[in-house]
A and B are shown apart, each in its own frame.
Chain A
């Protein structure tokens, strides 16, 4: 039998094979991540209230301006945005308080696999479980840490149900959960620094602080960017922890942006508005994250 020359060159044949190999995952990815945006596009200009509401009216750009014009929506949005931004800033701080300092410690002391195992352990707990742990440890009357503090004679207790309690405790516990992950990112950045430069700086008598600022940090910029991107996306989308704190059953203090969008879409009869607000909020964030990713890849290649 004579093979029919379907492809004129080997090159063409290879490209055709690539297409077949790429297709399954790409179809799934495009179909379930990018296609929904196209499907949702017409919805942005309607007053669709819930998933059963199939013939909504066309209302133009009203959904886009409602954040500014509707006083109730506006207040709920601003409250949720404020909580989310505060959480993001504090959580970003925790990336360095936990991740960077642990990485520097392990780098100086030498790799201890037992310690690494313990630091990474909280990553095995779900975000939901961490939310429940926050409740278990810091609830006003039943929290274990509060009970210990009371036993020790302290009067002022931490309370997870107060605005300040959520704002302080949640970033600390989230930072604790992600400590191992961030530590691995920073540690891999540290390990990629050529040892000659470090040795030279030690011979020249540089102090530890000088080494940190002049040698470690400049060469760890890609690690900083990766950690920033992960923290930015993760904290702005905080959801599971808030669910555990009762955000869906009335805890106002745990109403972060993602919770607000979820309530609007699934129980609040504001489906189209929810999708519009999610786009307005998250798209700028995604653009920033993509630019950071680009920057990081460019730095890695030079």
Chain B
């Protein structure tokens, strides 16, 4: 790093001039360190606030909460209808959980319900206190909606990553070196993909995909075929965006000495055997680069799943955005959804941060 080099140059000379330089360098170091600390705090702050807001109930939203709010005691004089709206409760589920057989009027208070159905006040209190600050988390994780969306997201990401790496390695091995005219032409064609805004193609693409899906029997009503076809559509659209991976693999394979391929040919290996047994093991680092850049991209892609998947059959992000319509006044549930949507990726990122940094820097060189 250049700072070390400056140090070596100035340390050779003595006198007031260099003393002022080293004082300035020390000052710079102090200011820079402070700046980095403040920037780091400012960067983590929104994530922290989001975490806290998952525990702040909507009626508390206009008071400032910078740490976990205390758990709230349920008011036994509150009307069940209001409590249900407030905590996103399904009244049928509540009746089942508490063993209530008869009709529950929304205007009944919790105390009324306890008296009418012979349930002790403590049971009622324990049952509703559980929701308190955890309403968002319970609402999201109790149903199967979120978990199945998560599974669909993971399937799409895993298949897309494997697919895009495999196809781009094939492409890269044919383009490596960029010596022939058709190689440069195709390479430039892939570069074009990088500069096409998604909104420019999504509508024509949708028209075409709808037409093609219409040709398949069984896609017009909900069912396994429709599910598979929709998921597959999103996967194929993810895989076709191969500009970045093609660039990385073309450069990486171009840097491998030609002698290796020639010697494998002399030993009688054909092109596929060379790719499978020699090239792929050599490409671990470029594969990691592509994965760490594209995984967040696929996870965070909203437009294509939103357009191509049914709302009942969608991935995590469109599901969370769907909550905004469903629970439009309940910020707690929405913020919990947003927080959960970024939690898995952030955990993966923090665990594999070294790979991410290395991959990002390698990717930046390719541009």
Q: Which residues of A contact B (CB under 8 A)?
A: 15, 17-19, 21-22, 24-26, 28-29, 31-33, 35-37, 39-40, 43, 51, 102, 105, 107-113, 115-129, 132-133, 136-137, 141-142, 144, 147-148, 150-151, 176, 180-181, 184-185, 187-188, 192, 195, 198-199, 202-203, 222-223, 226, 229, 233, 236-237, 239-240, 243-244, 246, 249, 257-258, 261-262, 265-266, 271, 274-275, 278-279, 282-283, 285-286, 289-290, 293, 296
Find out whether the CB atom of B204 lies under 8 angstroms from the CB atom of A51. Answer: no
CA distance A13 to B210 in the complex (A): 39
Task: Return chain A residues, CB-CB under 8 Å to B197.
Answer: 233, 236-237, 258, 282, 285-286
Tell me whether A229 and B195 are in contact in the complex, defined as CB-CB below 8 angstroms, given that A137-B49, A202-B9, A278-B203 are known contacts. Answer: yes
Q: List 16 A-B contacts (CB under 8 A).
A: A22-B171, A24-B167, A33-B240, A40-B203, A109-B32, A109-B36, A117-B350, A121-B47, A142-B331, A144-B49, A188-B364, A188-B365, A202-B6, A239-B302, A244-B321, A282-B196
- Complex: chain A residue closest to B350, CB-CB: A117
Stretch of B69-77, B125-133, B338-346 on the interface side: B338-346
Q: Are B199 and A35 interface neighbours, CB within 8 A?
A: no
Q: Is B324 located at the chain interface by the 8 A CB criterion?
A: yes
> B36–A105 contact, CB under 8 A?
yes
Task: Write the chain B residue with the least CB distance to A141.
Answer: B62
Closest to B295 in A: A124
A282, B200: Cβ atoms under 8 Å? yes
Contact call B171/A28, Cβ cutoff below 8 A:
no
Range of interface residues on B (Cβ < 8 Å): 35 or more
User: Which of A25, A105, A127, A283: most chain B CB closer than 10 A?
Assistant: A25
- Chain A residues whose C-beta falls within 8 Å of the C-beta of B29 in the assembled complex: 109
Contact A199-B9, Cβ < 8 Å, known A120-B356, A122-B43, A180-B360 = yes
> Which B residues touch A271, using CB under 8 A?
203
Given A239-B198, A246-B324: A118 and B44 interface contact (C-beta under 8 Å): yes
Docked pose: A112 CA to B237 CA in angstroms: 37
* 8 Å CB interface, B223-264 against A: 236-237, 239-240, 242, 246
Give every chain A residue within 8 A of B107 (Cβ-Cβ).
Answer: none
- The minimal Cβ–Cβ distance linking B230 to chain A, given in whole angstroms, is 15
CB-based contact A124/B349 at 8 Å: yes
Q: B84-92, B108-116, B185-193: which one contacts chain A?
A: B185-193
Decide: A126 and B341 in contact? CB cutoff 8 A.
yes
Residue of B1, B193, B341, B363 near A107 (CB, 8 A) is: B1
The interface bits of chain B over 171-192 (1 if a CB of A lies within 8 angstroms of the residue's CB, else 0) are 1011100001011001001111
Pick from B170, B198, B331, B350: contact of A21, CB under 8 Å: B170
Instruction: Say whether A239 contacts B3, CB under 8 Å.
Output: no
Considering the chains assembled together, what is the distance between the CA atoms of A118 and B299 in angstroms? 19
Q: Is B207 an interface residue (CB 8 A)?
A: yes
Q: Smallest distance from the beta carbon of B67 to chain A beta carbons, Å?
A: 12
**A-B pairs with lowest CB-CB distance, top 5:** A40-B204, A126-B300, A237-B197, A36-B204, A289-B195
B145-168 interface (Cβ within 8 A of A): 167-168
B4 in contact (CB, < 8 A) = yes
Q: Is the CB of A18 within 8 A of B357?
A: no
A82 CA to B222 CA, complexed, in Å: 42
User: Closest chain B residue to A198 by CB distance?
Assistant: B2
Which residues of chain B are within 8 angstroms of A236 by Cβ–Cβ distance?
197
B331 CB → nearest A CB, Å = 7
For A239, give its contact among B44, B236, B303 (CB under 8 Å): B303
Question: Whole-angstrom distance between the alpha carbons of A115 and B180 in the complex?
Answer: 43
Contacting residues, chain B, for A112 (C-beta < 8 A): 36
CB distance from A236 to the nearest CB of B (A): 6
Contacts of B357 in A (CB 8 A): 113, 116-117, 120
Instruction: Please name 17 further chain A to chain B contacts, defined as beta carbons within 8 Å, in addition to the given A141-B62, A198-B5, A229-B195, sorted by A numbering.
Output: A22-B170, A32-B236, A33-B193, A40-B203, A40-B207, A105-B32, A108-B3, A110-B1, A112-B36, A119-B43, A127-B300, A128-B300, A133-B338, A136-B50, A265-B203, A265-B206, A274-B203
With a cutoff of 8 Å between Cβ atoms, the chain B residues found around residue A128 in the complex are 300, 302, 317, 320-321, 338, 341
- The residue of chain A having its C-beta at the shortest distance from the C-beta of B196 within the complex is A286
B-chain residues with CB within 8 Å of residue A108 when the two chains form the complex = 2-3, 28, 32
A279–B196 Cα distance when bound, in Å, is 11
Inside 8 A of A136's CB, which chain B residues have their CB? Answer: 46, 49-50, 53, 331, 335
Chain B stretch 1-38: residues in CB contact (< 8 A) with chain A: 1-6, 9, 28-29, 32-33, 35-36
